[in-house]
Amino acid sequence: MLFSEAKGHKVVATDAAATVGRVDGFIVDPAAQQIIGLELGRTPGAGDTLPWANIQGFGRDAVTVGAGAMIVTAEGPLAEQAGKDHALLRKRVLSTAGVELGILRDVEFDPATGQVQQLLLDQGTVDAARLIGAGSYAVVVRA
Amino acid sequence: MTVLLRSSEIAKKPVVTFAGEAVAQVKDIVYGTTGDVQGFTLAGRGLFAGPLKTSVPWPAVVGLGPDAVMIADESALVDTAELLAGGSGVAGGAAGAGNVLDSQVLTDDGMALGRVVDVVIEVGEPTGTGAPTAEVVGYEIDPAEALGRGKNRLLIPLPDTLAASGEHLIVPAAAREFVREDLAGFGAAVDDFRARLGHGPVGGQPATGAAPPTSPAQVAAPAPVAAPAPVADPAPVADPAPVATPAPVAAPEAQPAPVPVDPAPSAGGSSPAGSSPASGPATSGPVPAAPVPVPETAGADEPSPLSAPDPAGQPRSLNEVFFPPEGAAPAPGAPAEPAHPSSGRWRRAADTPDAGAVDPVPDPGLPTRTATSDGQDR
């Protein structure tokens, strides 16, 4: 599944069968090439972050959670990697050799595990195993 | 794979950490005493950002590419004073032992090639877990008129080591032959140039490039420019260099030039050239330049398909000199010899007893003179 496909998905609490948010973004640990949480919008409470571990299912049409209380305020590693500075999309991709490979347009991930699989650039793709960092200036991949 | 970059292309490049943050931009490049890159001084990013007190030492550089300088993290930065203490020169205009930009490039035979406007750096592959290699391999210069190459900027290769001050850079005279107009092929020119210096002339001289196996024609050109100055006025940054011109003396067609050259002043080494490795052989008197091309002539005893003239009657080989056969409009003074077996019209100079009269110093990289059937040199 692509980030572009998953963005906007409803987040539904299975205990109340109610929509408790909408997927706005992805929090990725670049070093582990792993999605560690979702940034949500339109949440009923103060929390706006859904840790990946709290997700019950990531389907084609919705993300399910056990209860609305599983949506939390970002702390620890989630807080470190959240925000626009650490977002992947629309950033330049630099190799460790100092060569710009292009702009990151989309990311393919495994909805079952949250593992990032491919980085889709303007031209071509980059294996996500090469991903090592994402900051305000660039996404960095191994040369 | 190696990449050639101009230092001006490196300036203002962002310094990016593996975390994807641009922590600074390159301000100046600091060179070591041997032309190796020691590191970069930094400036802040942004329109009004000034210089930073921290710098990037070269060992901390993970990658240097056309788009960024990559470092692992900000902990790799060091104090600028610490970096400059180990460097010898700065390209870009900051403080330091000397700024190579705008220095005059002089050959060790005293010819001014131009002024440095940029520095060409060769960036190699990272070695193991360390930083990639980076070395100054050439300069971009605004050429002097005496070079006769127009006004477009030129690239000249550098030897492994050279003498430099804030005012002059001394390069071997052979550098003239490897001047290029753009970076395409410049890497090969650097390799060829250094191979020339490294192997040295056949006569067992040390590798200098001061007495290169240049053809008389090539040496003759700079002679009128280089010779007068040092002889007439030894005081200025004088180049004892014209002494290097004795090299072609062994060639029969060399210019009459610097006969009055006295090795003594050149031994004094009043210019940086005195510290150049080129000065040694340059002062050692006439250099037997002839041995260099000899193997080619000697090895041309056997007829080669290449040595046969083409249907138009012109010799194909650039390394052999042909004379017309006996009875076919012989050149004045040419001895009568059997015709070349492969042509019936031509015979090789090497086959004649007078072969030694032929220009004995052909440059392997340049066409030699050839004689046509009407006895005219071509």
In a shared domain, residues A78 and A94: no
Q: Which of A94-98, A100-104, B86-90, B230-234 has the lowest mean pLDDT?
A: B230-234
pLDDT in tens, B92-116: 443 345 677 888 888 888 888 889 8
Number of domains in chain A: 2
In a shared domain, residues A34 and A77: yes
The residue with greater pLDDT, B233 or B23, is B23
Task: Compute the nearest-CA separation of A29 from chain B (Å).
Answer: 11
Nearest chain A residue to B63 by CA: give it: A97
CB within 8 Å: B20 and A143: no
In a shared domain, residues A45 and A105: no
Decide if B111 touches A, using CB distance below 8 A.
no
CB within 8 Å: B65 and A99: yes
Q: Is the pLDDT of residue A69 over 50?
A: yes
Task: Compute the nearest-CA separation of A35 from chain B (Å).
Answer: 16
Residue ranges with strand state E in A14-82: 18-29, 34-41, 49-51, 55-58, 62-65
Domain that holds residue A113: 86-141
CB within 8 Å: A98 and B67: yes
Buried b (16+ CB within 10 A) or exposed e, B111-120: bbbbbbebbb
Q: State mean pLDDT over A64-80.
A: 91
In a shared domain, residues A37 and A100: no
CATH number at residue A31: 2.30.30.240
Q: Is the pLDDT of residue A126 over 90?
A: yes
Q: How confident is the model at residue B129 (pLDDT cuts 50, 70, 90)?
A: low
Task: Compute the nearest-CA separation of A77 from chain B (Å).
Answer: 14
pLDDT in tens, A28-59: 999 999 999 999 999 988 889 999 999 999 99
Residue ranges with strand state E in chain B: 3-6, 14-17, 22-31, 37-43, 51-57, 61-64, 69-71, 78-79, 89-91, 104-107, 112-126, 132-143, 154-157, 163-164, 168-171, 322-323, 347-348
In a shared domain, residues A14 and A65: yes
In a shared domain, residues A38 and A9: yes
In a shared domain, residues A24 and A48: yes
pLDDT score of B245: 36
Nearest chain A residue to B20 by CA: give it: A135
Q: Phi and psi at residue B115, in whole multiples of 5°?
A: -120, 140
The interface pTM score, or ipTM, of the predicted complex is 0.91
In a shared domain, residues A71 and A96: no
Partners of A109 in beta bridges: A116
Question: So where are chain B's domains?
Answer: 3-91, 104-282, 293-378
Per CATH, the number for B3-91 is: 2.30.30.240
Q: How confident is the model at residue B161 (pLDDT cuts 50, 70, 90)?
A: low
A97 interaction partners in chain B (CB closer than 8 Å): 63-65, 70, 132
Q: State mean pLDDT over B205-232.
A: 33
Mean of the per-residue pLDDT values for chain B?
A: 61
In a shared domain, residues A98 and A114: yes
The residue with greater pLDDT, B292 or A128, is A128
The answer to whether the CB of B170 falls within 8 A of the CB of B162 is yes
In a shared domain, residues A9 and A59: yes
In a shared domain, residues A57 and A105: no
Of the candidates B13, B14, B65, the beta carbon closest to that of A137 is on B14
In a shared domain, residues A78 and A93: no
Maximum average pLDDT range among A77-91, B202-216, B252-266: A77-91
Of the candidates B13, B19, B63, the beta carbon closest to that of A96 is on B63
